[in-house]
Amino acid sequence: MRRSFALPAAALLLAVSAALTAPAAPALAADGDEGFTIKDPRITESSGLAASRLHPGVYWTHNDSDDGPYLYAVDSATGDTVARLTLTGIGTPRDVEAISIGPDNRIFVGDIGDNLGGTWPHVWIYELPEPKELRDQTVRATQYVVTYSDGARDAESLVVHPKTGRVYIVDKKEEGGHLYEGPAELSASGGNVFEPIAPVELWATDAAFSPDGRQLAVRGYFGGIHYAWDDARDGKIERKERLSVPLQGQGESVSYSADGSRLMYGSEGEQSPVEAREAPGGGGSGSASSSGASGSSGGGSQAGDEGSEGGAGSGDGLTIGAVAAVAVVCAVLFGLGRRRRRG
């Protein structure tokens, strides 16, 4: 998908400053929880990420566009693809940007990107059952036609509440967008109009519910926001704190681990890394189904409040942080330049 990268210089400087002043990351339990790299050469634009509850340690992902009706199951212990699903019963995917898992292990895929900057008359959501056996196979999906009550728009974030099954979308705007709520039940035979219910102060590239449905994480390229959900009563979500989002060349995805203890951040590109940060407040470990339990991948700094004390690390820690920050900024600028050339 073509994207505008007129990013304010201030945002990049703030991100570098955060990297320079952040304290050393605490070590997490060493049970393979150091993140992972997506090794499959077919996955070059991983744009969505969802932790499987049915298959602990597995994450579902997909390419952005120009790939086809495919989903990939990646084993976080090895980074290898353990299954590729081919979706049938749908049209030709246009700009797939997000994936989420709802109650009863139902997978929802958001074909919600808009290459024309918000002019498609409609976008699509696909729903399918998560296979009980991980192998390459064909799965029939249901296709839903989606519009917005206030007009067409670009979006890259789709979340399904793990308790109610209701679907939400966050649109993508540099100045900040809105959380849109879908109907209580999606209709495959008619239209599905999504209504704005709350502002989201971020140029959002993905979002994720905690397993218990009480937390909502929204990420962007250089930051993220943690919201308390509380079932979004009266159309309100409570902003809690900033998220510790790693700087990535093209930060496109986020998922809670299946146990809710971590937030997993993914990026586009070949051999793309998935990095972990501790989820604020533990993330909630309530499972939306009886299948699956633990999650995978982790390792990283604890998410911090925007106004919390940064702490002063050792001199060596700051030196390492400075070198890392310079390297990451170079990678980001290279990534953005590459996207412009491809656009």
3-state secondary structure of 27: coil
Q: Distance between CA atoms of 332 and 19, rounded to whole angstroms?
A: 14
Structure tokens at 42: 């077919």
Q: Compute how many other C-beta atoms are within 10 angstroms of the C-beta atom of residue 324.
A: 14
3-state helix, strand, coil in the chain (%, to 5): 15, 35, 50
Structure tokens at 268: 């586009």
Structure tokens at 294: 């633990």
Question: Which residues have CB under 8 Å from 238's CB, separation 6+?
Answer: 227, 228, 230
Model's pTM, two decimal places?
A: 0.77
The pLDDT tens digits along the chain (343 residues) read 444 444 434 444 434 443 333 333 333 333 435 699 999 999 999 999 999 999 999 999 999 877 899 999 999 999 999 999 999 999 999 999 999 999 999 999 999 999 787 789 999 999 999 999 999 999 999 999 999 999 999 999 999 999 999 999 999 999 999 999 999 999 999 999 999 999 999 999 999 999 999 999 999 998 999 999 976 556 678 999 999 999 898 899 999 999 999 999 999 999 999 999 999 976 666 544 434 333 333 333 333 333 333 333 333 333 334 434 434 444 444 444 444 334 3
Under a CB-based contact definition with an 8 Å cutoff, are residues 59 and 31 in contact? no
Q: Mind listing the domains of the chain with CATH numbers? A: 28-313 (2.120.10)
Counted residue by residue, the chain has a size of 343
Please return the burial class of 223, using the count of CB atoms within 10 Å of its CB with bins 0-12, 13-18 and 19+.
buried
